Amino acid sequence: MNKKLAAALSGGAVLVVALSGCSSSSGGGDKGPDPKLVAWAKTVCDAVPAQDAKIKAANAAISTTAADTAEPETLQKTDSQAFQDMSDGYKAIAAAIGDAGAPPGVDGGAARQQEVVKNLNGLAASYADLKKQVDALNTKDQAKFASGLHDVAVQMTELEKKHKSGTEALKNLQQGEVKAAIAEQASCKKVASSAAPPAGSPEGSAKG
């Protein structure tokens, strides 16, 4: 049953990696990006690794229970905590980007920043809703539990659109010197290197 959930999780990790940009690129010329922009990027990037780890652990927890023959109560507890952690993770990243404010000296930066915050908060709310659904599942009735878990998996698949919107918003925020400033941050590089997809995977061509 949980295998459907595990299969539906693919978009989550990719979104956070989008914030790391392509660390090998530089867009600020020889002088490098504006120091104020570098400071902004540091504020954003320093908040990412801990939340990235939380989201990855939540993904792994659901995948792990998908691989065994866990009882419904165990599945419910694991999935509920995983959805809570994913919701908290996206909410925290949204808060970090929101608190950082618009990237200084960037045309349209405020609108791009607000779009990212809106998308990430939307994802956080969606995962919070999934947690409520999982918490309400009837673990005493195997058929009803399986049906309910299937419904959750379907909704997770539909969340893929929100993940794609979030990824596009993050990429849109990272234009020109913003990308160069983020590329300088060790914390964002760490996320990029730890989440690099295996060669030949669908995500492999998305990074770069």
Number of domains present in the structure of the chain: 1
Residue 17 lies in a domain: no
Host domain of residue 103:
34-188
pLDDT in the model for residue 188: 83
3-state secondary structure (DSSP) of residue 206? coil
Is 97 domain-assigned? yes
In a domain, 133, yes or no: yes
pLDDT for 15: 66
Q: What is the pLDDT of residue 12?
A: 55
Quote the pLDDT of residue 135: 96
In this prediction, residue 206 carries a pLDDT of 37
Q: Is residue 120 part of a domain?
A: yes
CB 191 within 8 A of CB 49: yes
Q: What is the pLDDT of residue 28?
A: 44
Tell me, yes or no, whether 199 lies in a domain.
no
The pLDDT assigned to 13 comes to: 52
Query: What parts of the chain have a pLDDT lower than 50?
Result: 22-29, 197-208
Residue 84: its pLDDT value, please? Answer: 96
100 within domain boundaries: yes
Whole-angstrom Cα distance, residue 165 to residue 155?
16
* For the chain, the helix, strand and coil percentages under 3-state DSSP, each to the nearest 5: 75, 0, 25
pLDDT at 62: 85
